[in-house]
Amino acid sequence: MRPGSAPSFIPSPPREARLEALFDELSELAGQRNAIDGRIVDIVAEIDGDQLWGATGARSIAALVAWKLGTSAGNAERIVAIADRAAEFPRCTQALREGRLSVDQVGVIAEGAGQGSDDHYARLAQNASVSQLRTAIKQEPRPEPEPSADDGDEPDHDLPDHDEPEPPSLPTAEITTSCDADYTYWRIKLPHEQAATFQAALHSHKDALIAQWTREHADSDEGPHRPPLPNLAEAFLALVEASWDAEALRRPHGQHTTVVVHVDVESKLAALHLGPLLTAEERRYLSCDATCEVWFERHGRPIGAGRSTRTVNRRLRRALEHRDRSCVVPGCGATRGLHAHHIVHWEDGGDTELDNLVLVCPYHHRAHHRGIIVITGPAHQLAVTDHTGRPLQSGTLARPPTQPPPAVPPYRGPSGERLYWKWYHPYQPPPTATAN
């Protein structure tokens, strides 16, 4: 640098001033985001209030929100909870629309706060964090259970007296069943020690199903057509499958337990063996990828039985697995326990050929036969739509904004101070008036 020339660099601003500028921008963006979330809550409330989501094929309003917004299931349920209780918490939801509270703060209140606590939590949420709000709601007094009508009954003295008490009966296990037009109901009664063994086995299979579900869907997008987490009913079926004979377990494509169905070839009426009648979708579901036991009849009397045969043989099954790899429904991605589905059902003249077969998971297979989703082909031009004909896609509706951000003040956020709970007064619901 020559003598007398000005310095060629400009000193950077202090770190505190730069950090303050970044915090100001974060506050402005957070306020705009909160206001946008408030508008989203209003839209969800309108969709739910008018029952518009029922025509989308989604399992629930929360699943629809998760699908359309590309958000997690937990965040979608939080938005739905705020929309459901917006009328009970007008001050909190208005603060959300104005950008002064976040959707997480109002969501915690909507998910657990008692009725009539809007003013209390609207004041507390101005300085409290999400975890502090959750702790405050836990301190609310919970309503006591109403006394049953039998609590005040006096003992019945009309019962006959016995000189000697009867010996206690041994606990016995019992299984009873009943059925209606849609379901078969099983009622299982077990002694405590047997029930503990059954429960341990049931939860072990449930944990295995959840681990498998997590591996298959960890990288897939949230959507209403993604299978839900396995429940105890599916764990019970897995427990049944684990008890199959060794031959069935060795089959390369996991053949299902044989279910005997009697079908009238002329009227196509079907019923389980010694069981109830089946609907058309249940008949097609059971016979789509099954082992057929062919009986020969003459004048309504069986005269012999042919060998059992599968509608999809092993060689065709391997070719189908090599082509599809996973469930063909967009956004699913399941790879285990898949069914070979006939696009044109074989009872309607559809060929058991590779171009007329696709792999679907049990959840979407049943959804198709119930009319919730529609699968049309051939396989190389496959189309999967909902019941209204809209194509299913795994993507979201998120797109670049075309409108300016909402004009709301910056979000101040919680104070970040420690809350001393011994000085906190939990919300107390007003006493209810009792009739004299």
- Residue 83 inside a domain? The answer is yes
How high is the pLDDT of residue 109? 94
- Long-range (24+ apart) CB contacts under 8 A made by 18-26 are 24/410
In this prediction the pTM is 0.51
pLDDT in tens, 232-274: 888 888 888 777 644 455 544 444 556 677 777 667 777 777 6
Least confident of 31-40, 49-58, 254-263: 254-263
Same domain for 322 and 216?
A: no
Residue with tokens 């909160």: 34
- Residue 370 inside a domain? The answer is yes
CA-to-CA separations, 381 to 189, 311, 365, in angstroms, rounded: 51, 23, 19
How high is the pLDDT of residue 399? 67
pLDDT at 106 over 90: yes
pLDDT at 103 over 90: yes
Last residue of a domain, one of 184, 209, 243: 243
Domain count, the chain: 3
Same domain for 290 and 370?
A: yes
Instruction: Identify which of 85, 430, 417 has the alpha carbon closest to the alpha carbon of residue 106.
Output: 85
- Residue 394 inside a domain? The answer is no
How high is the pLDDT of residue 361? 86
Same domain for 377 and 279?
A: yes
CA-to-CA separations, 190 to 24, 168, 169, 316, 334, in angstroms, rounded: 63, 17, 14, 44, 35
Last residue of a domain, one of 116, 140, 164: 140
Same domain for 132 and 208?
A: no
- Residue 299 inside a domain? The answer is yes
- Long-range (24+ apart) CB contacts under 8 A made by 85-90 are 85/110, 86/41, 86/42, 86/45, 88/115, 88/118, 89/113, 89/118, 89/121, 89/122, 90/118
- Residue 411 inside a domain? The answer is no
Same domain for 313 and 239?
A: no
- Residue 312 inside a domain? The answer is yes
Q: Which SS3 state, helix, strand or coil, does residue 296 take?
A: strand
Same domain for 235 and 317?
A: no
Same domain for 224 and 269?
A: no
Q: Which residues contact 86 (CB under 8 A, 6 or more apart)?
A: 41, 42, 45, 93
Element (H, E) at 369: helix 362-369
Give the domain range for residue 198: 174-243
In this structure, the number of other CB atoms found within 10 A of the CB of residue 332 comes to: 24
pLDDT, mean of residues 386-413? 77
| Contact criterion met (CB below 8 Å) for 404 and 28 | no
Same domain for 226 and 184?
A: yes
Same domain for 205 and 136?
A: no
- As a whole number of angstroms, the distance between CA 250 and CA 35 comes to 58
Same domain for 223 and 290?
A: no
Same domain for 271 and 382?
A: yes
- Residue 3 inside a domain? The answer is no
Last residue of a domain, one of 140, 166, 187: 140
DSSP tag of 188: E
How high is the pLDDT of residue 79? 94
Same domain for 178 and 267?
A: no
- Residue 436 inside a domain? The answer is no
